[in-house]
Amino acid sequence: MPIIEVNEVRKAYGGRLAVDGVSFHVDEGEIFGILGPNGAGKTTTVECVEGLRVPDAGTVRVAGLDPVTDREQVTRLLGAQLQESGLQPKLTVREALELYSSFYPEPADRWALAERLGLDAHLDRRFGKLSGGQKQRLFIALALIGNPKVVVLDELTTGLDPRARRDTWRLIEEVRENGVTVLLVTHFMEEAQRLCDRVAVIDKGRVVALDTPAGLIDRSTGSTVISFTPSQPLPDTGELSRLPGAVSVSADGPDGRITVHGDDDTADAVISLLAAHGITARQLRVLETSLDDAFLDLTEQDT
Amino acid sequence: MTATLGATDPGGRPLAAVLRAETRLFLREPGSLFWILVFPAALLTILGLIPSFRKDDEALGGRSVIDLYVPVAVLLAMIMAGLQAMPPVLTGYRERGILRRMSATPVRPSALLTAQIVLHGAAALGSAVLVLAVGRLAFGVGLPRQSAGYATALLLAVACVLALGATVCALSRTSKVAAAVGSVAYLVMMFTAGVWVPVQTMPDLLRRIVEFTPFGAASQALDQAALGDWPGWTHLGVMVVWTAVLGAASTRLFRWE
């Protein structure tokens, strides 16, 4: 059952269309990702879900409620971590947690939350004195402090070091295990691949793809990447591009390293071809394309 | 540590929590506290230490300079609070995304602004009381004889300066602009409040003009109440109109982002 429904939402700023008919729904308990290049309309879309912006057209429902007209009810069940927001510079972490938990009828255990996010050592530090990563973690805590049913996280791990990022991912997984629905805006493919059940790719204000991360990868052409350095130059590189499933062949680097995009059959065929010529493939790598490549594929097409 | 952490839960209603948090933050601004609470009383003290200012003067209607400067110092506290201290705080809340963060919670961001306005108003009134006390205790300036009238004029003057400060915030895109606009308004208000020349001793024509400004009117109203009369309705009316106009303008024009 969908807990977030976004239908044909449009939003323009001063004549420039930021969101141009975006639709998707998020099921209860799902981690749903929104991916897209900068300026694609991701943040505007989630701001409509959070009730911070009023769509020019289309409808948004959170648990059946309109985030604008039923603002108070929606804000009680939706926690948000926003971009470009701040707290009073002289407010301490402890005071921020106390203040924000007083806003909700049944707040989470804020001290457990602080500990979970590694903020327990900085409770008496003022917001203005926190590092970027600490601020980010505090905002994640504030998004979760009201025991929300839905959390919207905009650029969750921006500014976090790799360890904190992984910790945060684990936290989000825990949050979901407790039945919370997560709407995640990100530009880290690794993050989307690791966390999301489904991903909507938004480009120029429109949804260009909506699938599971694996589905998006499969969709992209040449999902297997074979690369190697031949022990001696190939007599005819054209042979490679005629192999089954091969999509593209490129040779680069001073050592003549060759990269072939294709599928699993292509990998086999490359190896047989090289064997037939008596060429050894040095540093042979067969990789699946990442969501990164799939993403570039999807968002490049119409540029 | 966990014991002390888990034990206390302030709870309470959200708006009370906002007011409590903002009060703490207000008390962490020594600069604002000095200019609002200490400076007006200190200025009165310094002026009062000049012997000739304590002498009754025929030209001033048999009163001393210090008698006239008590209401001036009271208004100075209000101007400091409403025009000097408050605008950068409110615009900063917008600029730093503090209002934005609050707007994603069940509490409306206007709660933050209201709390700050209330706190600055309260500090201004506290300072007014301090000035009256210093005037009375140190220099024997009589307390206002028409106390209800004095209180009315005081409250209207506070409302007026807060509305003016809020309008400065509403019109300024950034806190830098707010500080600059606030400073200009501040100098004008200081003049009309009689900081340099008490309104009561201004030349006739100038005084008549100044009486239509919020602080010219406030100055006259406070002076009349101090002498034992109910303040003139024109003066109170001038303040009411300014408060209404500026209050409406600021709520209408305020940008939340």
CATH for A2-211 (3.40.50.300, 3.40.50.10140, 3.30.70.2740, 3.40.309.10):
3.40.50.300
- Give the distance from residue B79's alpha carbon to the nearest chain A alpha carbon, in angstroms: 24
Q: Does B10 touch chain A (CB under 8 A)?
A: yes
pLDDT at res. B2: 38
Q: Dmax of chain A from CA atoms?
A: 74
Identify the segments of chain A with pLDDT beneath 50: 302-303
C-alpha A45 chain-centroid distance: 14
Q: Does B107 touch chain A (CB under 8 A)?
A: yes
CB < 8 Å to B97, chain A:
82, 84-86
With respect to residue B2, please indicate whether it lies within any of the assigned structural domains.
no
CB < 8 Å to A95, chain B:
21, 24
Q: CB count, 10 Å around CB of A287?
A: 12
Strand order in the sheet with A31-35: A78-81, A150-154, A181-186, A31-35, A198-203, A206-211
Q: Does A85 touch chain B (CB under 8 A)?
A: yes
CA angle A232, A234, A235 (to 5 degrees): 120
pLDDT at res. B3: 37
Q: Which two tokens stand for residue B81?
A: 């609070």
CA nearest B48: which of B143, B138, B144?
A: B138
What does the pLDDT profile of chain B (257 residues) look like in tens digits? Answer: 333 343 344 444 899 999 999 999 999 999 999 999 999 999 999 999 988 888 888 777 778 888 888 989 999 999 999 999 999 999 999 999 999 999 999 999 999 999 999 999 999 999 999 999 999 999 988 899 999 999 999 999 999 999 999 999 998 888 888 888 888 888 898 899 988 888 888 899 999 999 999 999 999 999 899 989 999 999 999 999 999 999 999 999 988 87
CB < 8 Å to B107, chain A:
103
Q: Which two tokens stand for residue A239?
A: 């042979």
Q: What are the C-alpha distances in Å from A21 to residues A12, A58, A60, B54, B139? A: 11, 8, 12, 75, 73
Q: Does A106 touch chain B (CB under 8 A)?
A: no
Does A2-211 match A221-300 in CATH topology? Answer: no
The architecture that CATH gives domain A221-300 is 2-Layer Sandwich (3.30)
With respect to residue B223, please indicate whether it lies within any of the assigned structural domains.
yes
Q: Token pair 């409620």 is at which residue?
A: A65
First-residue to last-residue Cα distance in chain A = 36
pLDDT at res. A222: 66
Amino acid at B85: A
Q: What are the C-alpha distances in Å from B18 to residues A104, A199, B12, B116? A: 13, 38, 10, 10
CB contact under 8 A, B105 and A75: yes
Q: Does A84 touch chain B (CB under 8 A)?
A: yes
Please name the residue of chain A whose CA is at the shortest distance from the CA of residue B6: A111
Q: Could you tell me if A135 and A170 are in contact, meaning their C-beta atoms sit under 8 angstroms apart?
A: no
CB contact under 8 A, B107 and A103: yes
Rounded to two decimals, the ipTM of the complex is: 0.85
By the 10 Å C-beta count (0-12 exposed, 13-18 middle, 19+ buried), A181 is classed as buried
Domain count, chain B: 1
Question: What is the C-alpha separation between A157 and B23, in angstroms, rounded?
Answer: 33
H or E segment to which residue B33 belongs: helix B30-33
CB < 8 Å to B103, chain A:
52
Q: Token pair 């924000």 is at which residue?
A: A100
C-alpha B32 chain-centroid distance: 12
With respect to residue B5, please indicate whether it lies within any of the assigned structural domains.
no
Q: Does B253 touch chain A (CB under 8 A)?
A: no
CA angle B225, B127, B239 (to 5 degrees): 45
CB < 8 Å to A107, chain B:
none
pLDDT at res. B1: 37
CB < 8 Å to A74, chain B:
none
Q: Does A76 touch chain B (CB under 8 A)?
A: yes
pLDDT at res. A287: 81
CA nearest A38: which of A197, A155, A193?
A: A155
Q: Identify the domain containing residue B173 by its residue range.
A: 13-253
Q: Does B18 touch chain A (CB under 8 A)?
A: yes
pLDDT at res. A301: 54
The residue ranges of every structural domain in chain A are 2-211, 221-300
